[in-house]
Chains A and B, each alone.
Chain A
């Protein structure tokens, strides 16, 4: 695609202060401690595409999601939607205009809907906040449309969230995200709290909606199979860094970074091809004191001296010295 990317994330960083309280630091003579949750992440998302971030716990993928939607201010770096960055807009009105275009779907459908609000009010809230349509009747109409769009009944508006199952609640959450006519939706593990059969319903719904409304998704997940099913492009994260960005199909047919390979190898195999699995070693290190150099080096089968000292930059979609030096044949 030659046009400017719809979503542009540049060198995003986020540091959390995880120091002990002041008194403890003084008494125990402990230094301040920082956690680099996200450490220089850059990617683009084209309009209408699904970009997935995949990684294990502590990889920083959810932190990226929260920074992209503006729930968490980045320590450094920028997020721009259609060329407009959150950092650039000072006027409240402008900011609101940008917010309208970005919405989010959360992991836990049991916590993402206010339990004391009726569904109709929940979905109407963004419509009122962004003044999408005016007048009670029009708002009501729109809520009904949205509920139908996500496969629920317009009459469901008068119920409370607890009257719905997890999958139905996630539909409500999707309806709320669409209520502001958002174009870009950040989905943070949208199906990992759901059962497989319900997950299939939600994933299919999300794909249908993407086709119908031309939505752009940033899809966060730890589940490689789900990511494969949804994403056009995929970024693999490890300890706050992107280690590989690749075309959706290619990542699975031709994984390049050793971590990606390990991850793919570790996924339980439903097809039961009986593949050998010996590549999985060790566990994710403590992100407060990550290994120096390439953070993956203690677990990497291809490690050599340079990996322990120098952090590999992302070159041609892979952040790995071994791959860049051509010491690994692209399988």
Chain B
């Protein structure tokens, strides 16, 4: 289990991202706050449009117009990075924050051998010479499980299979020994058997290197396997955040409960799936109060007017009025 240190590797405070369109200003992220401790894997789950990928992009400063960070701050090891100028932010990306995306081909340039890409990245971020960098690249490929790395290093990206390519991307993300890695749906494009290998790899690397990871995915199974803590997002807000075991086994937030019940399982009786009525609201039509209230079976009058803040319940935090009165004294 992770021990909370004084300064978390990543700290997100009230992060708000807006997209300004002709008709309205859409709020893709609405005061999102969370911490990631050293060596911890934080899973971020949610359905499409919940804002999980936007969170990742906002942290690394890759929100393109018409989107903009409208409020809040992002701290990397205690220092603010969301207000850094473009050039400084570019250095943070890659050097201090590594990135792994869903499609390995977006991170690899198809025209260059992977040796060139790895060595270049290593040399940009460290002061190793060419030979040392190459040795390091081979060591990295070995570490991410590419067989015969001395030989494979001079291949082009298309000469690798999907799973191997994702391993190369992970090696690329590790080049500069970042303190924090954002993995956005890293296994979604892969087959189940390969997915399991990549999950195992990410887990092992974090443990060995003490790197923190924010794992963004829609697949609760991947989160359950990999993450230490999980944040469940809904309509640009965090609904519940806490240790993965508790959230998966005994979710508190009605949305999280519905979500867990909706996932068909490999264990137990194949019973009827829990279904949450309706769909997630579009960004242009988020209801007032709790964003989940139109779909919530336990909604009461307060839910329609007042947005619930995150309330501490044990190790967890949940944004739901149901846990307010009874647990008021625990709230920090």
Partners in one complex: yes
Q: Which A residues contact B (CB, under 8 angstroms)? A: 56-57, 165, 167-168, 195-201, 203-204, 207, 222-226, 228-229, 248, 252, 262-273, 277, 280, 283-284
B250 at the interface (CB under 8 A from A): no
Having A226-B264, A229-B270, A283-B162, one finds 5 other A-B pairs with CB under 8 Å, namely A56-B191, A197-B259, A225-B263, A271-B266, A283-B163
- Whether the Cβ atoms of A280 and B196 lie closer than 8 Å is yes
B192 at the interface (CB under 8 A from A): yes
Given the known inter-chain contacts A198-B279, A266-B196, please indicate yes or no for A284 contacting B191, CB distance below 8 A: yes
| Chain B: minimal CB distance from A287 (Å) | 12
- Whether the Cβ atoms of A268 and B219 lie closer than 8 Å is yes
- Whether the Cβ atoms of A196 and B245 lie closer than 8 Å is no
- Whether the Cβ atoms of B270 and A268 lie closer than 8 Å is no
| Chain A: minimal CB distance from B86 (Å) | 34
The interface centre, meaning the residue of B193, B195, B222 with most chain A CB atoms within 10 A of its CB, is B193
Cβ–Cβ < 8 Å partners of A267 in chain B: 192, 196, 221, 266
Cβ–Cβ < 8 Å partners of B199 in chain A: 268
B287 at the interface (CB under 8 A from A): no
- Whether the Cβ atoms of B265 and A263 lie closer than 8 Å is no
CA distance A203 to B279 in the complex (A): 15
Q: Give me 18 A-to-B residue pairs in the complex whose CB atoms sit less than 8 angstroms apart, sorted by A's number.
A: A197-B47, A197-B262, A200-B263, A223-B264, A228-B264, A228-B270, A248-B270, A263-B193, A266-B193, A270-B265, A270-B266, A272-B249, A273-B267, A277-B196, A283-B163, A283-B164, A283-B194, A284-B191
B258 at the interface (CB under 8 A from A): yes
Q: Which B residues contact A (CB, under 8 angstroms)? A: 47-48, 161-164, 191-197, 199-200, 218-222, 224-225, 244-245, 248-249, 258-259, 261-267, 270, 272-276, 279-280
- Whether the Cβ atoms of A269 and B275 lie closer than 8 Å is no
Cβ–Cβ < 8 Å partners of B197 in chain A: 280
- Whether the Cβ atoms of A268 and B195 lie closer than 8 Å is yes
Among A204, A222, A264, A271, which residue has its beta carbon within 8 angstroms of that of B272?
Answer: A204
| Chain A: minimal CB distance from B34 (Å) | 21
- Whether the Cβ atoms of A203 and B273 lie closer than 8 Å is yes
CA distance A130 to B70 in the complex (A): 56
Cβ–Cβ < 8 Å partners of B264 in chain A: 200, 203, 223, 225-226, 228-229
Cβ–Cβ < 8 Å partners of A270 in chain B: 220-221, 224, 248, 263, 265-267
CA distance A224 to B279 in the complex (A): 24
- Whether the Cβ atoms of B196 and A195 lie closer than 8 Å is no
Given the known inter-chain contacts A167-B279, A196-B218, A270-B221, please indicate yes or no for A263 contacting B192, CB distance below 8 A: yes
- Whether the Cβ atoms of A197 and B276 lie closer than 8 Å is yes
- Whether the Cβ atoms of A200 and B274 lie closer than 8 Å is yes
CA distance A136 to B47 in the complex (A): 40
